[in-house]
Each structure stands twice: as C-alpha cells, then as structure tokens.
Structure 1
Amino acid sequence: MFSDHNEFKEMFLKKLEMMYGKTFPESTPQDQFFTLGHLIREYISMNWIHTNEQYRFNKRKQVYYLSIEFLLGRLLRQNLMNLGIYEVVDKGLKDLGIDLADIEEIEHDAGLGNGGLGRLAACFLDSLASLNLPGHGYGIRYKHGLFEQKIVNGFQMELPEQWLRHGHVWEVRKSDLTVEVPFWGKVESYSEKGVLKFRHVDAELVSAVPYDMPVVGHETSTVNTLRLWSAEPAAYKAGKDLMKYKRETEAITEFLYPDDTHDEGKILRLKQQYFLVSASIRSIIDSYIYRYGDLKDLHEYVSIHINDTHPVLAIPELMRVLVDEYEFDWDEAWKVTTKTFAYTNHTTLSEALEKWPVRIFQPLLPRVFMIVNEINERFCKGLWEDYPGEWKRIEDMAIISHGEVKMAHLAIVGSFSVNGVAKIHTEILKQREMNLFYQYYPDKFNSKTNGITHRRWLLGSNPPLSKLITSAIGTDWIHQPGKLKDLETYRDDAAFLKNLHEVKQVNKERLARRIYENNGMKIDTDSIFDIQVKRLHAYKRQLLNVLHILHLYNRCLEDPHFDFHPRTFIFGAKASPGYFYAKKIIKLIHSVADLVNDHPAVKGRLKVVFMENYRVSLAEEIIPAADLSQQISTASKEASGTGNMKFMMNGALTLGTLDGANIEILEQVGGENIFIFGLTAEEVMNYQKQGGYYAMEYYHHDPRIKKVLNQLVDDTLPGADDHFETIYDSLLGENDQFFVLRDFDSYAAIQEEAGKAYTNREEWSRMCLHNIANSGYFSSDRTIEEYARNIWKIGQGSLMR
C-alpha cells in the first residue's frame, strides 16, 4: 500500500483531508489517530479478504474460540508491528512533527475483559494468526466494559468505562449478518410425519449484530477474525412495554460481569451467556453450510473451544439447532456435538464453577433447558448402568441437581477434551475437583500450560530489552521464542550483564515518570521495584504483601539501624464491584501507604504505590520495570497465572508459591533463579481436608503477626475507622481461609533473601538473564501449537508471505 515513509505521508495527509474536510495544520491529535487507524485497517483489508476466501474455498478445519472476555489492550502498535510497517509510519509522522507514541496514547484500551482469562484469549488469537492457523474468536461487544477505577480517599469507585465514546477504529459492523436470539416464551410440541417435534413460541427476540475486528498475524498475510456481538432491539411486537424491552435488550451487552448477587443480575448474566453462544453457533453453522452443506461432518471441519464455563450453553444450543432445525435424531446430534466441543477449565475454586438456579434458567431459556434436562437424564441413566446403586456418585456428577444446573458438569459431558492450564492445575482437577469425571472419562483430560504472546509482551512493550536481545542473538527469537535460550551464552559476559541492568533502569525511570504524573510521587529508581499487579482477590493474597510492608515499617520504628535495600512496592488491581472484602484490601493498601510514605523513621527506604485503573496499556509500562514479580497466591488456588510469565520474560525474578505455572517456571530456571516460599498445594489441601490449622496460634506465638493484626484495628493506620475489622475477623475469627498467617514467616524470610540478593548487581543480572533465556517456553505460540496438534487437529496453511 505504501513502500516508504514519503508515500505513507502522502497517503496519510490525503486520507485526513478526505475524512475530516480540513487541512493537516487544522487537525487534532484525535483526528490524526483515527486517520491513521482507518488507513491501517484499509491496508489490512486485502489480506483479511484473501484469508477469508482461502478458508471458504480450501476445505481446512477451523477452530472457533468462544470467550466471554477478550482483553485486547490497544491495537495500533501491535498492528503496525505485525504488519512490519512501524518504522515507516514512525518516520513519516516524525516528518509531520507527530510523535507516534503520542498518537498511541489516544487509543482507549478495548473494554472487553477483566483479567487473565481475557488476556489469554487475546494472546491465543495473536498466536493463531501468527502461526497461520485458521482460528477465530467470538465474544461480546461490551459498551462499557468492566469499569474505570477511580481511587477517592483510598476507596475504589467505579465509573463507566466509555471506551467506545469516539467509536472503535478497528471494527466493521456487519448488519447483514444479524441474527435473532430468543428469550422467555414457551415450548410447544407437535407431531410431523409421526415424529414428535418442538418449537419455541412467544419468545422475546433480541438482535445480535456482529462487529468484526481483524486479527493480524506477525509478518504473515494471515488475518483472522474476532467477531463481537452487540445486542439491539428486534422488530417491535405489539403488547410489549417498548421502553422496558429496549432497556433490557441494551443491558445485555452494556457491562461485563453484571453483579449477580440478586436474581436480576443472575438473569442478565445468563442472558449474556446465551446471547453469545446462540449468535455464535448460528454464525458458525451458516458459514459451514455455505462451504460444505452436510452437518453430519461438522466435527470434521469445525472445532469449537469453550474458554471456561461462560460459553457452555453452546453445547445444548448446537443440539437444539441440529435436532429442531436440521431434523437430526438425538443420538446423531449428540455424536456430532460431543466431537465438536473442547473445554478449558480455569479454576480450582468450587465457588467459581458456575451453577444456575433452575427457577431462573427454565423460564428464561425454556427449550434449551429441556435439552439440558434430556442430556442430564441420559447421562445419569448411563451412570446408573455403570455404577448401580451408587446414588451419591450419581448425585455428585449430575448436571442438574438440588435445583441447579452445573455448567462445568455440562461442559465435561458435552466435550471431547477437557484441559487444565498448568500441570498442577490439571492434576488437581483430575485428583480432587473433577475426580469422579476423571474416573469416568480418563481420556478426555489433558494439560495445556498457558502462554503469552512474546510479540506484545516483550517485542512491543519492551523495545530497549528487545533491541539488546536482537543485538546479541539476532532476530530468530521473534518467530521462534525458544531461541531466547541462546542468551545463555552471555551468562558470564560482564558487559552484556551491565547493559541488561541499564535497560532495566531505563524502564524503571519510564515507570517512575508515569507514577509521578499519575500519583504525584517521586520514586527512587535505585530501589527494588517489587510489584504485584493482578485482579484483587483474597486467594491472590495482596493482603500478605501489605501486612509484610506494615511489618517492615514496624522494624524501621523499632530499630533505627535496620539495614535493608530500599523498596518500592507497586500495586495495581481492580476489585469486582460487589466484592466488598477486596475493596477493603484496596483501602488498606492506601492506608498503609499514607502511614509509610515519607515517614521520618522510614527515611524514604519504603514507598507504597497503588496505580489506579490497572489495564493492559498500563501493564505494558509496569512489567518491563519490575525487579521482583509477586506471584503469592495460596498454593492450589491459582490455575496458572500469565502475569508470572510476562514478568519473567521481561527479566523480573519471581517471588512466589508453588502454585499454578510458578512450578513450571521453577522447572525452567532452577531453584537458584527464583524465590519460592510457603505451603505446597498438597499441604493446603491436607489442611482443608483434615483440619489442624489454627490461625489464632500464629497470632499468639508470632509477635510480628500479632502487632500487624492489632494495627488493623487500633488507631495506627490513617483513615482506618472500623474499615479493617472485616479483614481482622477473616484472619482470626474465620480462621484465615487462605493461610496468610501460616505463610507469613516464610514470606518474610524469602523477601529478606531477595533483598540481599539484589545487592549483588552482577549476580542479580545473571539471574534475570537466565529467566529471560528460559521464558520462550511460555510463549502462547507453544501453547497454541499444542492445542492445534492435540485437541483441534488443525494445521498450518499456505498463507505465509
């Protein structure tokens, strides 16, 4: 489209004048961003069309990845880099007096996700396209995303995340592909040619309008598609309260994760989930029929992947389509369905395994409930034949029991593959959480350790480190991340280790400037940047981190000569709007910051920073600057983690428990290059099963613990009032469910060890280098290649440039 920066510059100026009817000197930075975005999307379009044509006419199996979240972040830089035109555009804009970095700042993070689940989905899409694999995403186009976090007097406040206020330059509305999704109503049975059939009547219809976004592969001509559905009113039906119908329809795609503590929120969440899968299944079927015709071979050409339990209703929805619309008999439909779906589980927390009350499910989705009920009846009948008289086993495995529909059970029964996202997570599923299903379906279970796209999280977000790596080992690592291993030859190269330290300092200085802009706080860039950024949840134990900071503060007061390397503790986290305990921890972090920062006894050696509104674009500044990566979840609770991989890849050392993918990081780098502490998963599960843990004993026998817990409820913390009594009670009155006090001593000791290790600069840099060199295993390219080969059975195409 343009061969050099001069040609780009000419096309850019022409495009701007055509779009806005003004000359370049009159244009605003926002005009310039949207002009550039439209120009790049047009640049992408030919390859996008070509890719779709290839898929349409070449009979290649395709995968469709269904996820309630796609946490994409900003796309301008990623698209420019993947297209190989970043330098050309940068140079052309510089000639016009525009800094591309300033233009990038105008783009809003797409408000389509919250945490690791959504970021994983985004990484997977990037790897699918970059590996020339035929894979597409289906999700929801949330108008407001989760929320924009504001901190007021230490408290989290939620504002609408208006990421679509000025439109979204990367999307294309496809009104002609709109489908209708039915809710409520009733099911009628009728006989046709002696066959009993069913139809859903008097339903409230909602239009699902698709918005397509291109997913650009890195230096390939492959452009896959992310299709997002927006809920809009369908044709008006007499007798409806039109305004109420319009409000309820638009609410479906207004916010990610509506509060489901009440029935109204539960109904809305269930509506979201069915809306996503109903529209997506219709789209997949229509595309398949256009190409192949006969649905009996659907599973030979289509694999549908369910990212956690949110899209599990796709299983009964496909059954409904095959049975009701294409006249399959039940057994034939079930055979096709169970060979089409694969399911990834993302949690070991039983409370996170979705269950829906029948009293809500049945009236909202009457025909789908009938199908789920039939699946359950047939499944339980099979269990009875295999385990006669074992009522408890059948009750525990049933899809519908005690007035609830158990979505994880439906996912396992209706899929041909069930995978965990780290070795230990899969083992916990097999041996504990889903053991009965593992006994029944041993061949379904497998492990696929998560990964991250190194193109965004190293090449894109950390240019100084990427340039240093390339100067040492060439560019092969960009396409083959395993080649990062070649950095090991520089382990004893003092000059390279010095350069590596200097790169880290550059990134720390950049983050320090951001902190000063956002928080008005000056940070010592020679301090250890000790960082914990992730969703705020009790099991992730931000509480352990902040109690330890309070302990360090106490040591400064008790011993004026207490010697330790200065620390900057950096937090970033959102708490779900209805998760009041998590919000209390955010307030506690701020109260401890108010106490510690600038206290004369601390002498500037401790700083606590909370970075508001944590998101992908902020993570891209925080992660390259980290010295220590805190991955301190209670062992057995974190399925995998992907933040741990991002930090490792950027040269931070992991301080963590033997949980999730931390274990596999340990396997890759060895015990001397990571800081491990705390209970093992087995020890945690033994406590939970057999008892024997008494938090009060740790309170009475460890004066450090007693002091910091008392400080939660006395007048030590500024602005505490009675805000932290809930936390105090959870640790002592409720016996510390996540073993914060049990791991405190081990955590304090490993923190001290890490602080001492940091003082040997060359050895620390050597450890960082070893982590970077062994991070290639955690590329999502490796993960996707395993999914493609072992689960989806899809292969690469001939779309390479």
Structure 2
Amino acid sequence: MSRPLSDQERRRQISVRGLAGPENVGELKRGFNRHLHFTLVKDRNVATPRDYYQALAHTVRDHLVGRWLRTQQYYYEKDPKRIYYLSLEFYMGRTLQNTMVNLGLQSGCDEALYQLGLDMEELQEIEEDAGLGNGGLGRLAACFLDSMATLGLAAYGYGIRYEFGIFNQKISGGWQVEEADDWLRYGNPWEKARPEYTIPVHFYGRVEHGPDGARWLETQVVLALPYDTPVPGYRNNTVNTMRLWSARAPCDFNLKDFNVGGYVQAVLDRNLAENISRVLYPNDNFFEGKELRLKQEYFVVAATLHDIVRRFKSAKFGSRDPVRTSFEAFPDKVRAKTCRKHPKTSVPELMRILVDEEKLGWDKAWAVTVRTCAYTNHTVLPEALERWPVRLLETLLPRHLQIIYEINQRFLDRVYAAFPGDHERLRRMSLVEEGAVKRVNMAHLCIVGAHAVNGVAQIHSDILKNSVFKDFYDLEPKKFQNKTNGITPRRWLLLCNPGLADAIAQRIGEGFVSDLDQLQKLRGFVDDESFIRDVAAVKQENKVKFAAFLEKEYGVRVNPASLFDVQVKRIHEYKRQLLNCLHVITLYNRIKKDPSKPIVPRTVMIGGKAAPGYHMAKMIIKLVTSIGDIVNHDPAVGDRLRVLFLENYRVSLAEKGA
C-alpha cells in the first residue's frame, strides 16, 4: 500500500489542478520573513518552530486586517441592523487553518512554506486551542460567528477572555486528572487589545431613590478591557468581530489603604477583581450558584450592553437623529441574543440603562427591551437552569433585584388578567420562587423579557412548548419558535477531511462549501462506481492515518480495516456512555463464548471530559479505561475488538479526523 498523502501534499495537488485559486506565494514568503525579523526579532539561525508558527500567523493576519477595517467601515456607512450574540462560552479552537481556508490562502501558504523548507502540519500543531467553552454550547457559538460572517451579516460575538480555558485532561491509572489550560502563555497573535473602549462595571453598593430616579451608589468597580479577534467569512471579504472582555482592577483599587501602610496588600487585592476573567467554569450542564459565576455573567452583560449603546449612539448620523437619541430606533438597529444559562441578566441590565441612565419611562424602556432581546434555550435538564438566590442578587446587584421585582409584579398582573383566579398558575410562572431559599428563576425572566424564544431542534422546541415552559406558551404562543442547529462545513469538511472535500468538488464543484444544499447533487452519483471507489479510498486513507496517530499517541495498535465506533461528548449520565460500555462488554463476552464465530472487527473510541466535581462521570471514564485494559490485552480477542479512551479530546483533535 502506498503511503497516505499528508493534508499539505493533498492541498498542493488540489492547487495544481486548479480547485483552489492561485495565491501570491512570493508575497507570502516575504511577509513570513518580514514578521520573523521585525515582529519576532529572530533569524533562521535561532528561530524555533514556535517562532515560525508566530511568523506564519502574523502573515495570514495581515491579509485579514484590510478586510476587517473595510467591513467595519461598511457597517458604519450603511448602518445595518446588528446582531449581538452574548455567551459565556466561545469554543473557537484553532484559528490559523480555518482563517487560511476562509481567505483562500491555504494552498499558497502550503507552497510558500514548502519552498522555505518548513512543514505546515508541524506548525499548525503548535497553535494552542482557544478552549473557551465546555462543549456543544461553546462550539455552537463559534459556528454561529463563522456562519454569520459567511452570510455577510453585521454580527458580533461577546464573551469573556478567560486566562485559563477548559482544563487539559490527563488519564492517570485510568482516572481523569485535570491540569490548567494556560493557553495564553505564549501570547495570542490573533487578538487586538482595545484599551480605549474599556468600560467600568459595578458591583455591590446600595440604591438611593430620589426625584431624578434611582442611583446606584458606593459600588465596587471592575474595568472590562476588550480584546478583539477577527472572524472571517468564507471568501466574501467580510470579517466580523468577536470581542472578549478581560477583568482589570482600576488603578485606585483599595489604594486608600496606602495611607495606613497597606500598599502591598492593596495591590495584591487587585486579584479579587481580576479573578472574574481568570477561569472558565468547567461545567456545561449543571448550575452552580457561585458568586463568581454571577459576577462573570453580569460582567460580560454590563460591558457588552454599554458597548452596544455606545455604538448605537455613535453610528453615522446617530447623534443628530432625534429618533435615534430617544431610543425608539434601538430595536430596529440592535438584536441581542442570549443563550441558555448564560447572560440572562441582560434584561434587567438593559432596563437599568434605559430607565436610570437614559431616563426613559418604564413602559417605553420595557417595550424597547422586549423588542431587542431574544432567548435561546439549549437544555431541558432541570439542574442546568439558573435559579439565583435572592440574597446573593440583593448583595451583588441590588438595583437589578429591584428591577426584577417590578418586572415580576407587572407580569403577574398580566397573567392574572388572562387567567383570573388561577393562583397556582401565578405561582408556577412567577419569576421569584418561594421556598426555604427564595430564588429568581432566570429562564422565566428571559422568556418574559424577550420577543422570541427558541429551542435548538424541533423536538426540543416542542418540549419547551408542551412541557417545560407550557404556561408561558399558553400566554404568548407566537413568542415561541424553533431554530435547528447546523454545522460549520468549512471546519468540519473542508478542513478536517480535505480528501472527501476534494472527491466531492471534482464531481459537483466547490459551491457546496458555502451552500450545503448543493450536496444534493451527489444523488446523481449514488451508483457511480468511480465516485464510490474514491470515497471508500479517502475513508480508508483517513483511517490508516488516524490509526498511525493512535499508535504514536496512545501506544495502541488498531486495525485500520475495522469499524471505527466513536462516541465523543461531555461525559455525563444523560449522554449514555454507560450504555456504550455495556455494549462493548456484550461484544467481548460473545467473542469469548464463541471465538470461531465471525464478527466485524470493531475499534470503539470514547472521548470527552468530566466536570471535575462530577464523581459519576469520572467513574464512567474509569470504567471505559478498565474495559480497555481487559479487552486490549486479551490474546483471544486479537484485533477484532479494541477499546480506547481518547484523552483530552478537543477541537484540534477533531481536526485530525477523530
């Protein structure tokens, strides 16, 4: 069997055949050498592979900057409606290869590095994952940004620039061990700090009511410093922005203590403020009512909404437009999208800005808020839905609790008018839940304060309407919609599987890369023997390459001709990895009972991370590794069955084809 082509070799072949446009290889080489010398201050005698990666990343980034500036200038001139996607998670993964694909630079960069005697795949491996998400929710946010840029929509992603992302997973003795993900230790060539747009965010304090309205006084201030990352669309010259906020203490933070000799302690106490953006909570499907988590949520909401209002006011002609300055046009220019258990404080914060700072009347402010906000629910798990203790909200965000109480009273008045005498319905629908611990139901708050609510699949949306939020659906059925999640075909087909993308492009052209409906043209090749052979060959080639990777990284030799049975998800009881384990045990027992019985060889691969405090999920990982220890070392089984746990599975590992 001939050696499988590397992805770099395959892309060079594609370029030669004309399936990718020609790039100016000489310009790319000059840009690479310029950044190596002037940005990194290195030459080829002392440069390391990481230096070469940084030089390549800056070279590719150069091709983004002009498009990025022109896109923002276009938005300023045309003043379109802007979409703002707020999330505490953006699981972007690696940026280099995705950017080269979207800009049409990949084959040119491959050729430039080839002429420079460097290996593209080696340099790509050096890039750190931007693991600022736990799994599906964070990855969905990243996919939305890519898709909206490809559609040419004026869209922005807003989140937190965590210093430490999702933990690195090590398997020791079959057990998961967590290690910190210090993804910024070598810097991030894709981001640009924007200190001129730093925003103060307030916590704690007290509220004073007077003739001019409510004032939030004696607060603790944390500064939100924005870092912008370009998000390129697929070959359309559109480059949108993801803005991530980093927490900073103000210069005078507790420095009054200097007068009593406490200067050193005052400086050390700055960490209390900056901890807000220190670490991503490593849990995707369980609500933890921790003060730091609420601080993170409000931090990104407050900074983002003030940024949105600033951009709205400073838009072309905005300051001279009486409709604009009265905020009547705000919902026509702004759509703020929040998701599941993430920035739900956006409703009371927008009300606070409009009522307390912009001096709108309550009814007018509420109409603007509802028309602006939309809510996506990602799960029906009761343990994942936020219910914040009233006492914590009263301490941390006292003005917001007052606003929530007012929203709740007005909403319950509406419910009672629609369903007179139904006191049980009032109890179920209240934003404030009574009990041993009084809590605010944040999902209810988001539904009441949004003009649209959706699930992420039809069956999910139906459950919301018929079960979880049925009372709200009965009150306002037109508010409930469905948006079925999709994928990002550039990363998950063109980038991860260039061989398959090549085989498809040879038959139907490259239009499918930005229009997946064109894949229906493949129906005409369902009986085409050459196409069937090409797809089978690509599949087997990928399996051979991945089998070599498994042997190198995990020390386990697998049969490339076996059926690859893969389940990769966060480890959780409802994800049912346990059922998969029981199936593997059943297959093993069948082989042991009758070794002569023919069976399709199978390689079972399970991957995913367990939340550090989730004991049962960690036990499931231990079970998988223990089953593998038995199955993989039983000579009677041979290569008919193999079981692997894929350690530290992440976006970059997925790009290898896992």
Q: Answer yes or no: same fold by TM over 0.5.
A: yes
Q: Aligned AA for 1:617?
A: S
Write out per-residue CA displacement over residues 22-68 of structure 1, whole angstroms, 9 at most, x where no aligned residue: 32232111111111212222221111111111111212111001111
Contact 1:142 1:255 in 2 (8 A): yes
Bigger mean CA offset, 307-316 vs 162-171:
307-316
Q: Distance in 2 between matches of 1:486 and 1:334?
A: 49
The match for 2:569 is 534
The match for 2:11 is none
The match for 1:722 is none
Q: Distance in 1 between matches of 2:491 and 2:625?
A: 31
Consecutive unaligned residues in structure 2, runs of 5 or more:
1-21, 320-324
Q: 5 Å matches for 1:17-166?
A: 17-166=37-186
Which of the numbers 391, 394, 400 marks the counterpart of 1:359?
391
The match for 1:498 is 533
**Do the aligned partners of residues 440 and 573 (structure 1) sit closer, same or farther apart at CA in structure 2, a change above 3 Å counting?**
same
The match for 1:230 is 246
CA shift at 1:260, angstroms? 12
The match for 1:429 is 464
SS in 1 for 2:130: coil
Q: Distance in 1 between matches of 2:572 and 2:476?
A: 32
SS in 1 for 2:336: strand
Contact 1:259 1:578 in 2 (8 A): no
The match for 1:675 is none
SS in 2 for 1:26: coil
Q: Distance in 2 between matches of 1:619 and 1:492?
A: 30
Which of the numbers 644, 651, 654 marks the counterpart of 1:616?
651
Q: Does 1:279 align with 2:311?
A: no
**Do the aligned partners of residues 392 and 470 (structure 1) sit closer, same or farther apart at CA in structure 2, a change above 3 Å counting?**
same
**Do the aligned partners of residues 321 and 452 (structure 1) sit closer, same or farther apart at CA in structure 2, a change above 3 Å counting?**
same
Which of the numbers 220, 228, 233 marks the counterpart of 1:204?
220
The match for 1:681 is none
Percent same amino acid at aligned positions?
45
Q: Aligned AA for 1:277?
A: V
Write out per-residue CA displacement over residues 413-442 of structure 1, whole angstroms, 9 at most, x where no aligned residue: 000000111111111111011111110110
Q: Aligned AA for 1:445?
A: F
Q: Does 1:328 align with 2:328?
A: no
Q: Distance in 1 between matches of 2:633 and 2:559?
A: 12
- TM-score of the superposed pair, with normalisation by structure 1: 0.75
SS in 1 for 2:166: coil
Q: Distance in 2 between matches of 1:102 and 1:582?
A: 34
Q: Aligned AA for 1:211?
A: Y
Task: Provide the aligned length of Structure 1 versus Structure 2.
Answer: 618
Q: Aligned AA for 1:446?
A: Q
Contact 2:285 2:384 in 1 (8 A): no
**Do the aligned partners of residues 370 and 376 (structure 1) sit closer, same or farther apart at CA in structure 2, a change above 3 Å counting?**
same
The match for 2:494 is 459
Q: Aligned AA for 1:130?
A: T
Q: Does 1:266 align with 2:290?
A: yes
SS in 2 for 1:24: coil
SS in 1 for 2:70: helix
The match for 1:698 is none
Contact 1:530 1:568 in 2 (8 A): yes
Q: Aligned AA for 2:635?
A: P
CA shift at 1:244, angstroms? 6.3
The match for 2:605 is 570
Q: 5 Å matches for 1:598-609?
A: 598-609=633-644
The match for 2:203 is 183
The match for 1:590 is 625
CA shift at 1:622, angstroms? 3.3
The match for 1:480 is 515
Q: Distance in 1 between matches of 2:641 and 2:298?
A: 49
The match for 2:312 is 288
Contact 2:87 2:141 in 1 (8 A): yes
Q: Does 1:553 align with 2:592?
A: no
Write out per-residue CA displacement over residues 178-230 of structure 1, whole angstroms, 9 at most, x where no aligned residue: 001111111111223xxxx1111111111110000000011111110000001
SS in 2 for 1:208: strand
Contact 1:260 1:266 in 2 (8 A): no
Q: Distance in 1 between matches of 2:370 and 2:286?
A: 33
SS in 1 for 2:453: strand
Q: 5 Å matches for 1:366-405?
A: 366-402=398-434, 403-405=438-440
CA shift at 1:250, angstroms? 2.2
Q: Distance in 2 between matches of 1:222 and 1:495?
A: 37
Q: Does 1:300 align with 2:332?
A: yes
CA shift at 1:243, angstroms? 5.3
Q: Aligned AA for 2:338?
A: I
Q: Does 1:173 align with 2:200?
A: no
SS in 1 for 2:383: helix
Q: Aligned AA for 1:213?
A: T
Contact 2:71 2:238 in 1 (8 A): yes
CA shift at 1:552, angstroms? 1.4
CA shift at 1:517, angstroms? 1.8
Q: Aligned AA for 1:324?
A: D
**Do the aligned partners of residues 585 and 262 (structure 1) sit closer, same or farther apart at CA in structure 2, a change above 3 Å counting?**
closer
Q: Distance in 2 between matches of 1:61 and 1:331?
A: 23
Contact 1:567 1:606 in 2 (8 A): yes
Higher relative contact order (CA 8 A, sep 6+): 1
Q: 5 Å matches for 1:683-722?
A: none
Contact 2:287 2:385 in 1 (8 A): no
Write out per-residue CA displacement over residues 258-308 of structure 1, whole angstroms, 9 at most, x where no aligned residue: 679999961011011000100000100000010124222100111011122
**Do the aligned partners of residues 430 and 44 (structure 1) sit closer, same or farther apart at CA in structure 2, a change above 3 Å counting?**
same
Q: Distance in 2 between matches of 1:446 and 1:59?
A: 27
Bigger mean CA offset, 352-361 vs 585-594:
352-361
CA shift at 1:561, angstroms? 2.3
Write out per-residue CA displacement over residues 537-576 of structure 1, whole angstroms, 9 at most, x where no aligned residue: 1111000001111111122222222321011000110011
**Coordinate RMSD, CA, aligned:** 1.8
The match for 1:413 is 448
CA shift at 1:242, angstroms? 2.6
Q: Aligned AA for 1:214?
A: P
Q: Aligned AA for 1:281?
A: L
**Do the aligned partners of residues 259 and 554 (structure 1) sit closer, same or farther apart at CA in structure 2, a change above 3 Å counting?**
closer
SS in 2 for 1:523: coil
Q: 5 Å matches for 1:215-226?
A: 215-226=231-242
Contact 1:274 1:311 in 2 (8 A): yes
Contact 1:111 1:142 in 2 (8 A): no
Q: Aligned AA for 1:542?
A: Q
CA shift at 1:368, angstroms? 1.1
SS in 1 for 2:329: helix
SS in 1 for 2:467: helix
The match for 2:347 is 315
CA shift at 1:361, angstroms? 1.6
Write out per-residue CA displacement over residues 677-707 of structure 1, whole angstroms, 9 at most, x where no aligned residue: xxxxxxxxxxxxxxxxxxxxxxxxxxxxxxx
Q: Distance in 1 between matches of 2:180 and 2:600?
A: 40
CA shift at 1:385, angstroms? 1.8
Consecutive unaligned residues in structure 1, runs of 5 or more:
624-801
Q: Aligned AA for 1:21?
A: V
Contact 2:286 2:383 in 1 (8 A): no
The match for 1:641 is none
Contact 1:341 1:414 in 2 (8 A): yes
